[in-house]
């Protein structure tokens, strides 16, 4: 039996990297996320950290079309190029992983890197095999596992890009998890892309048992994102809430305004919220 996870926190690639500039970290945002995680842990919370790739990973994945995998119709030259692209993508996201783990360890969090690329396997880009016991054992020993979006072996396409969002969904549906928190570069989920005039922050989104939401939400995606941006995040969030029958709630909030109280307190007040809470419809 593994411990209940109080929160799985995704440090979004948008939050801690400049997504349009190759391998560029936003140091202040990373430190802010790390500090918030430290405070949660100090309050006794059991945590898992997952981070996205941002400009470490998405750029290489897009230029080498890693998410299309490999096929028998590829000639040798195209295949070699694709294989190198896979290595470069993983190498890039591992650079970010080292920075994230360092930021956590430097302030006293016993973070342990668990790179999914070398242990998770997917079929049609959905996880089919992953080291559940290892993650559970790390939690039992009071360590903080750090996973991330990565390039993984896929049974149908040879390999694929596995988003941190899909990793979070998998963990939430397998462990007993109270909350999934997505820290990103915007205040939460808006009724339309936040760059559009009059975009309104949705403080609460209700999901019914079929995973459908009660409102129309307009979304856009950055050209440097290969995993679906906010569309995948909302899709992941609605699945987590509906498939756990509301036992796990989801928050989407800006890394700039995250605090341990919002992340870890059992009840979150949405009246004055500057974030989005995604819950089961009553």
Ligand X SMILES: Nc1ncnc2c1ncn2[C@@H]1O[C@H](COP(=O)(O)OP(=O)(O)OP(=O)(O)O)[C@@H](O)[C@H]1O
Ligand Y SMILES: C=C(C)CCOP(=O)(O)O
Instruction: Pick between residue 61 and residue 251 the one whose CB is nearest to ligand Y.
Output: 61
Distances 51 to 16, 133, 234 between C-alpha atoms, Å: 9, 20, 16
The least CB distance from residue 199 to ligand X, in Å, is: 7
Instruction: Pick between residue 14 and residue 249 the one whose CB is nearest to ligand X.
Output: 14
Phi-psi label, residue 146: left if phi above 0, alpha if psi -120 to 50, beta otherwise: beta
Site residues for ligand Y, window 181-240 (CB under 6 A)? 226-227
Distances 54 to 4, 17, 60, 169, 241 between C-alpha atoms, Å: 29, 6, 11, 19, 25
Q: State residue 48 phi and psi, 5-degree precision.
A: -120, 140
Contact 36, 59 (CB under 8 A): no
| One residue of 6, 150, 154, 185 binding ligand Y per CB under 6 A | 150
| One residue of 225, 240, 273, 275 binding ligand X per CB under 6 A | 225
Site residues for ligand X, window 24-83 (CB under 6 A)? 52-54, 58
Name every residue whose Cβ is closer than 8 Å to that of residue 179 and which is 6 or more positions away in sequence.
6, 7, 8, 248, 249, 250, 251, 263, 264
Question: In 10 A of CB 233, how many CB atoms?
Answer: 25
Q: Does 145 help bind ligand X (rule: CB under 6 A)?
A: no
# residues contacting ligand Y (CB under 6 A):
17
Output the known binding site: 10-14, 53-54, 58, 164, 185, 229, 233
Site residues (vs ligand Y, CB under 6 A): 13, 52-53, 57-58, 61, 89, 93, 149-151, 161, 163-165, 226-227
Site residues (vs ligand X, CB under 6 A): 12-15, 52-54, 58, 164, 184-186, 189-190, 192-194, 217-220, 222, 225, 227, 229-230, 233
């Amino acid at each position: 039996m593994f411990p209940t996870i109080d929160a799985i926190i995704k440090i979004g690639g948008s939050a801690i990297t400049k997504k349009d500039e190759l391998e560029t970290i936003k140091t202040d945002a990373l430190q802010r996320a790390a500090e918030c995680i430290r405070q949660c842990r100090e309050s006794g919370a059991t945590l898992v950290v997952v981070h996205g790739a941002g400009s470490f990973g998405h750029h290489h994945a897009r230029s080498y079309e890693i998410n299309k995998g490999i096929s028998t119709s590829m000639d040798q030259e195209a295949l070699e190029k694709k294989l190198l692209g896979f290595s470069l993508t993983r190498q890039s996201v591992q650079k970010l992983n080292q920075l994230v783990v360092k930021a956590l360890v430097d302030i006293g969090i016993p973070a342990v890197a668990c790179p999914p690329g070398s242990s998770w396997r997917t079929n049609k880009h959905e996880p089919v095999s992953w080291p559940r016991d290892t993650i559970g054992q790390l939690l039992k020993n009071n360590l903080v596992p750090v996973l991330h979006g990565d390039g993984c072996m896929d049974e149908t396409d040879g390999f694929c890009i596995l988003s941190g969002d899909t990793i979070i969904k998998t963990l939430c549906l397998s462990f007993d998890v109270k909350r999934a928190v997505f820290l990103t570069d915007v205040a939460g989920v808006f009724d339309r892309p936040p760059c559009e005039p009059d975009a309104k922050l949705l403080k609460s989104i209700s999901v019914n048992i079929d995973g459908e939401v009660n409102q129309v939400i307009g979304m856009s995606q950055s050209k440097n994102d290969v995993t679906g941006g906010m569309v995948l995040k909302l899709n992941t969030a609605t699945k987590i809430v509906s498939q756990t029958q509301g036992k796990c709630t989801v928050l989407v909030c800006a890394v700039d305004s995250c605090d341990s109280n919002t992340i870890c307190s059992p009840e979150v007040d949405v009246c004055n919220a500057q974030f989005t809470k995604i819950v089961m419809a009553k």
